Structures are given as structure tokens and as C-alpha cells.
Amino acid sequence: MSDTSALPPLDAEGAPSIRLPLRFVWQSDDLGVISGVSPELLTAMGPDVDMNGRTWDDLILRHGLDPSQELAQALARRETWSGVTAHWPLRENHIVAVELAGLPVFDRERNFRGFRGFGVAREAPILRLDEAEKVEIAASGPAAPAPPEADKAEEPPPPVLPFRIPSRPGLNGDENIAFREIARALNARTANDAGPPEQAPQPAAPPSQEEQADYALEVLENLPAAVLVHRFGTPLFANHAFLDLTGFDDLPALIQHGLDALFEALPSNAGGTRGLGIRTATGRSIRADAHLKKVRWQGETASLLFLGTATTVTTPSEGARESELRAILDTATDGILVLDANGRILSANRGVETLFGYDAAELDGRSVTLLLNPDSHRIALDYLEELKADRPVTDKGREVVGAARRGAAVPLLLTLGRLGEGTERFCAVLRDIAHFRKVEQQLREAKREAEHASAQKSAFLARVSHEVRTPMNAIIGFTEVMMEQRFGPIGSERYRQYLQDIHDSGGHIISLINDLLDLAKIEAGRLDLNFARVNLNEAVTSAVAMLQPQANASRIIIRTALTPRMPPVIADPRSIRQIVLNLVSNAVKYTPAGGQAIVSTVVTDLGQAVVRVRDTGAGMNEQEIAKALEPFRQLSATTEGGTGLGLPLTKALTEANRAKFVIQSAQGAGTLVEVIFPPDRVLGL
């Protein structure tokens, strides 16, 4: 920063003598704190007014910069602005009318970080008046401008050479402002070439040519309008707006592509032929209002191309097809975006507008991260990088959190895909999964409630079984003592028969309690299983030997067909013996005299180990099978007693051992039950 104590001299009227026009740059942060002010302005202001480190509000309040309130309103909008006049304080109680312009600065997440701007003082300083006269100045405007001849001598306007395009449109108001600032920046860049006028005194610390060049480049780079500087068809400079519009990552990529391939003739049926035709890096044809100007760049003549409003060019057939596709996409409830390789939004359907509250036009050219919570930015960008690198990507998408315009968080499923081979355009589908999350939460709560109810049922059954088992064991024990007549004979044979009935009933109750407890434990997931190698042939042989006396008494033939060298399975040995025992017992129980029960083991072509129990009983239809698999339900056609838990308990034990329970039956054709162990539970294959 220059030493502000080195003040310029006063003119004949006692006003500070400064070189006109006086140009300077400035910047401020998101809180309005000013920094980086050009030293030439600080020198002209004098030591009593220091801008750096102070806020705009402070300067406006203390020095009356903004009598019309235009500056405060422009700063509050956080948009590009220009042409705002401020009454700037100078030393010796003078002021000067300064025309200000500012460009908002945003970070990668589109958070406002402040302003960068510049100012121009074209009029001679005037003496500051009292408060009553300030009101008059605010109403009447700044002091009379300098003679136009002085400006022309200082800053001659360069000629404008338009493209040879039929019916070239003129510049609108915003374009005129942007184009004027381009000219000012480039004139400032080459101001040192001509040298200072002899009649104007030198400032205390004039900026170097490098500083002037940096200032010009900064202005051009931050302009919202697309600007290209080229010489003989070779690009020399392109700002961010031009690269974004044409789809190139940087200037070298544009140079490699070439301007001949960039500009194209507009089709005659493209809905109007005015403007310049451009074929972007993504293959999209656009039409832009174009203006050409001769400028000096790096000491030599060059051409500056300024692009105004750009629109997409479509033929009638393409337009109809595009309208049809747009209508289809707009009917989708999901948000659908088209992105470029950098994640910038090229188009959006109505689903996006509904989800986030933005108009599609507002999103054009913005980063997709604008629609996402900061915690989800990295997830989405990494997903895009994986697609760009053609790395294997799962098609399940990524769960992210969206950020609606009003600040609401929206859980989303993001799915990305490339739009065709070799293209750098991608489709993003954003699905609102808030409903699925709600259903998932409801299911989790229902599961917790069911587990709680099952735990309560298991606890109740455990208490009841304990209370019933103890006296029932006593009853069974006493009946056995009486049946054996250990303390003397029983006088009547009928009493001995009653004792046998009491003993059998007690055993039935104990069996029922055990089955209830096992079934409750399985449903609650609390059944203790000790998985080990189990030989299915041995389990079948043991069960058949145990039930052979019962089969002989009922005149039922039990046949076995066991596969030699049957591979072992991983299962709980105790529950497997109970499964086989229950199935063979049911086959014997529900087969009439003279029938058969066939028990076999087999290994299928799929590597499954299977235990099969077939009988020649009456069989069941589909309704009876469903009834038999329900707890405490017995078929009315059966004559044998039972708890009604045998088949449901057998099915539950089978599934607890990671096996599959299959039952097939038909009336008059008997019943076939299969316990199928999958290949991953079979050893030695």
C-alpha cells in the first residue's frame, strides 16, 4: 500500500489535484469489511479517511457516501451491479463523484463471500457543503461533468466492428454496461503504452503495468458475459462465462478444439438465423448474439468477441421430438437432471422444481451440489468421478440428503448414468425416499413390538411351565408308585386302569409343555442350537428303531432306503433327531393298518442333502395341509390324539437349522415330507 502521507498538491482553488479519470479497485467480504483498495484512491482521500478494515455501513454513515441509498441497495442484493454514483470524501473537505460497479463472489457451494469491484472518478473535486446543501446536492445530482473534449482526449472510444451476420441485434441495457466495462478494463491495461499527459501531474505511487494488467484480467474473468480474445483464429483469453457456455474445461482445451470447429453456420430452418452459430464441446448447437471489437492485447492488435443471450438451436423435427421427450420427463415424479463432466446442470425436469422449489432456468449452469446438503457433496462428486473414469459402479445408487430452497432436508436416492458412449454428459435421477424411510421406520417399530410381545409370551410360558411341571411330575411319580403297588395291593382292577390313564395324561401334559417352550423359543430366536456334523443315516436309523414297536402294534410296515456314504450336514444333532422322530411318528400315526411308511435319504444333482418320509395314508388337500401346519390345529379325520404341535414344531426346527421344509399330499395318495439341506450346509461334496 502506498504511503498516504505523500499527498498530492492542491490546485488554484484549493481542491486536491488528482489525475482524471481516477480508476481504482476494491473488494469486501460477506460482512461488508473493505480491503484491497487501490493506493491511488487512498492517496487522494488523505490520512483522515482510511477505507481498509472498515465496513460500507460505517463509511456511508460517517461520510455520507450514499445520499440516494443506491449503494446500500446494490450491496444488499448480492448481484452484479454498476453505474452507482457515490460522493467520495477527499482531503481538504472536498468530495468527488465516483461511479462504482461490483461483482458478487461465491464459493464452490454458492455461498456468498463478498464483492470485488472497481470505480471511476471522472469529475473534478468540489468543496463539501453543509448538511442543508447536501440535501440539495442529493436532489440535483453530482457536479457538472468535465467537457467532453477532455474525456475524448484522455480515453478515445475504439471503433466497434460487428460480425457480418444478417440483421445483427443491438446490445440491450445489461450488455451495454458489460461491454463498456470491458472497454474500460482493456484501456486501463494499455494506458501506460501512451504515457501520461503532460498537463496532468504524476500521482505519488502510480500502479505498475503488471498491476494494470492484473486488474484488467480480473475484470474480464468475473464478467457474467462470455468474452473471447483471439488473434488470427488463435484464442488468447476466454473467461469463465465463455468456457461454461461452450463446454470447455480451460483455454488449452479450446485452443486444441480450434475456432473453426467451434463456430458453425446456422441451419436455414432453425427458427431464426440471427446471431452466431456455435457447436459446443458437448455437441449442442446454440445461437448467441455476438459483437466484435478491435483491441490491443499484449502490445498487438487482437479481436475481442462478446457473446450476449444464447439459445439452443433445433430444427422443426428435432423440436417436436425434444418437446415430446420433455413432456415425458416432466410427467415423472423423480427429479431428472442432465449434467456436464464438471457436475454443472444443463437441464432439469419439473420433478426437480417440485422437489427443491427452484425454477429450471435458475439451475442452468449451476453445480448439482446446490441441491444437496454439504455432507452429501463429496458422495455425489465421487460418484460422478467413478463414472467419468469408467470404473465399475453399482447400479443401486447413493443415498444423499437434498437441500430444498426453503432449507428443508429431503432424503434422496441419487442414480447417475452416462448419456451414451464417449459423451461427457450424464443423467442424474433423484428419487424422494422419505416415504420409504417412513415405512422402514414403521416396520422396525412393528418388529420391535413383535419381538417384545414374543419375549413376553416366552416369559409367560416359562413361568407357566415351571408352575405346571413341578406338580405334574409329582402326580406322575405317585401314579407310578401306586401302579407298581410298592406299599400294598390295590383292591380293584378298575383303580389300576385309572392310574394308567392318569399317568398317560400327565406325560401328555409334560410333552405339550416341552413343545410349547420349544416353539416359543424358535419364534423368539432364542432356541439354543449347537451346530455340528450330523450323519442323517444314523438319525433315521435311530428314529425307525425307536418307533418300530409302535408300527408293529399298528400293523404298519416301515421301510428304509438310505444312500450309501451319505455326506454329513451341519445341523443341531438333538433337533435333527426330533425332526426325523416327529415325521416318522406322524407317518405311523396317520397310516391305516396294512399301510407303509418309507424313510429315505438322497443327494440331489444340485448338491442338496434330503431326508424324505412318505406314507400311504389318506392324504390331505391344500386346505388341510395349511390347517395341519397351524399350531393347535388337528384334522377332524384323525383318530389319534395329539397336541397339534408336531408338524408346526417340526417345520420351525427345520428352518432353524437353515433347511427347507416341503410337504406334498393328495387325498387318497398319501403324504410326502422333505427336509432339504442346501449345498452350503452339506460337507464332503
| CATH number of the domain where residue 321 is located | 3.30.450.20
- 421 & 501 share domain: no
Extract the C-alpha cell encoding 382: 465421487
Of 275, 292, 313, which residue constitutes the final position of a domain? 313
- 473 & 563 share domain: no
Q: Which of 663, 628, 651 is nearest to 579 (CA)?
A: 651
Provide the sign of the torsion angle of the four alpha carbons 180, 181, 186, 190, taken in this order.
Answer: positive
Whether 386 maps to a domain, the answer reads yes
Amino acid at 579: I
Q: What is the pLDDT of residues 219-266, one digit of tens each?
A: 788 777 889 998 888 898 999 889 988 888 888 888 888 888 888 766
Extract the C-alpha cell encoding 533: 456334523
Task: Judge whether residue 211 has pLDDT over 80.
Answer: no
Q: Whose grid coordinates read 469408467?
A: 390
Amino acid at 7: L
Angle (CA) 342 346 350, round 5°: 130
- 555 & 655 share domain: yes
Banded pLDDT at 659 (limits 50, 70, 90):
very high
CATH of the domain at 575: 3.30.565.10
Q: Whose grid coordinates read 464441446?
A: 281
Q: How far is CA 523 from the centre of its chain?
A: 39
- 616 & 578 share domain: yes
Characterise 518 by phi-psi region: left (phi > 0), alpha (psi -120 to 50), beta (else). alpha
- 570 & 516 share domain: no
- 335 & 298 share domain: no
The number of domains in the chain is 5
Distance CA 516, CA 631 (A): 9
pLDDT at 203: 46
Distance CA 72, CA 50 (A): 19
Distance CA 667, CA 647 (A): 18
Distance CA 362, CA 352 (A): 12
Q: Respond yes or no on whether the N-terminal peptide bond of residue 21 is cis (omega within 30° of 0).
A: yes
Compute how many other C-beta atoms are within 10 angstroms of the C-beta atom of residue 509: 16
Which range, 98-112, 175-189, 315-329, 657-671, has the best average confidence (pLDDT)? 657-671
Whether 141 maps to a domain, the answer reads yes
- 44 & 114 share domain: yes
Which helix (H) or strand (E) segment holds residue 243: the answer is helix 240-246
Render the burial of 389-408: b for 16+ CB within 10 Å, e for the rest.
eeeebeeebbebebbeeeee
Q: Which of 313, 302, 240 is nearest to 276 (CA)?
A: 313
Compute how many other C-beta atoms are within 10 angstroms of the C-beta atom of residue 30: 13
Distance CA 223, CA 186 (A): 13
Q: Which of 389-393, 416-420, 424-428 has the lowest mean pLDDT?
A: 389-393
Whether 457 maps to a domain, the answer reads yes
Distance CA 450, CA 440 (A): 15
User: Which residues share a beta bridge with 278?
Assistant: 263, 286
Whether 163 maps to a domain, the answer reads no
pLDDT at 489: 86
- 80 & 220 share domain: no
- 462 & 543 share domain: no
Instruction: Find all residues with CB under 8 Å of 474, minimum gap 6, and list them.
Output: none
Asked whether 158 and 182 are in contact (CB, 8 A), the reply is no
Distance CA 391, CA 257 (A): 27
Extract the C-alpha cell encoding 452: 417384545
pLDDT at 405: 85
Whether 106 maps to a domain, the answer reads yes
Whether 259 maps to a domain, the answer reads yes
Angle (CA) 507 508 512, round 5°: 115
Q: Whose grid coordinates read 460487428?
A: 162
pLDDT at 90: 76
Surface-to-core class of residue 650, CB atoms within 10 Å of its CB (0-12 exposed, 13-18 middle, 19+ buried):
buried
pTM: 0.37
- 587 & 673 share domain: yes
Q: Which of 370-374, 398-402, 419-423 has the lowest mean pLDDT?
A: 419-423
Q: Which domain holds residue 396?
A: 317-432
Q: Which of 233-242, 303-312, 361-370, 534-543 has the lowest mean pLDDT?
A: 303-312
Q: Which of 199-213, 278-292, 308-322, 474-488 has the lowest mean pLDDT?
A: 199-213
Distance CA 416, CA 396 (A): 10
> Where are any strands of DSSP class E within 112-265?
112-121, 126-127, 226-231, 234-238, 263-264
Q: What is the pLDDT of residues 472-494, one digit of tens each?
A: 888 888 888 888 888 888 888 88
Per DSSP bridges, beta strands 263-264 and 94-106 are unpaired
Whether 3 maps to a domain, the answer reads no
- 321 & 300 share domain: no
Instruction: Find all residues with CB under 8 Å of 409, minimum gap 6, and list them.
Output: 373, 401, 402, 403
Q: What is the pLDDT of residues 196-205, one digit of tens each?
A: 444 444 444 5
> Where are any strands of DSSP class E within 122-172?
126-127
3-class SS of residue 391: coil
- The 8-class DSSP code of residue 681 comes to G
Task: Judge whether residue 191 has pLDDT over 60.
Answer: no
Task: Judge whether residue 146 has pLDDT over 50.
Answer: no
- 113 & 189 share domain: no
Of 499, 524, 549, which residue constitutes the final position of a domain? 524
Surface-to-core class of residue 412, CB atoms within 10 Å of its CB (0-12 exposed, 13-18 middle, 19+ buried):
buried
Q: Give me the phi and psi of 198, to 5 degrees please.
A: -70, -30
pLDDT at 180: 60
Instruction: Find all residues with CB under 8 Å of 342, minimum gap 6, and list them.
Output: 249, 367
pLDDT at 172: 55
Banded pLDDT at 562 (limits 50, 70, 90):
very high
Q: Which of 221, 211, 193 is nearest to 297 (CA)?
A: 193
What proportion of the chain, given as a percentage, has pLDDT over 90? Answer: 18
Q: What is the pLDDT of residues 422-453, one digit of tens each?
A: 778 899 999 999 888 888 889 999 988 887 88
Surface-to-core class of residue 489, CB atoms within 10 Å of its CB (0-12 exposed, 13-18 middle, 19+ buried):
exposed
Termini Cα distance of the chain: 85
Q: Which of 548, 509, 566, 526 is nearest to 683 (CA)?
A: 566
Q: How far is CA 90 from the centre of its chain?
A: 54
Q: Give me the phi and psi of 352, to 5 degrees please.
A: -65, -40
Of 372, 407, 432, which residue constitutes the final position of a domain? 432
Which range, 98-107, 137-146, 299-308, 544-553, has the best average confidence (pLDDT)? 544-553
Amino acid at 276: L
pLDDT at 680: 92
For 415-474, the DSSP string reads EEEESSTT---EEEEEEE-HHHHHHHHHHHHHHHHHHHHHHHHHHHHHHHHHHHHHHHHH
Mean pLDDT of the chain: 77
Whether 11 maps to a domain, the answer reads no
Surface-to-core class of residue 549, CB atoms within 10 Å of its CB (0-12 exposed, 13-18 middle, 19+ buried):
exposed
Extract the C-alpha cell encoding 337: 437432471
Mean pLDDT of 162-182: 49
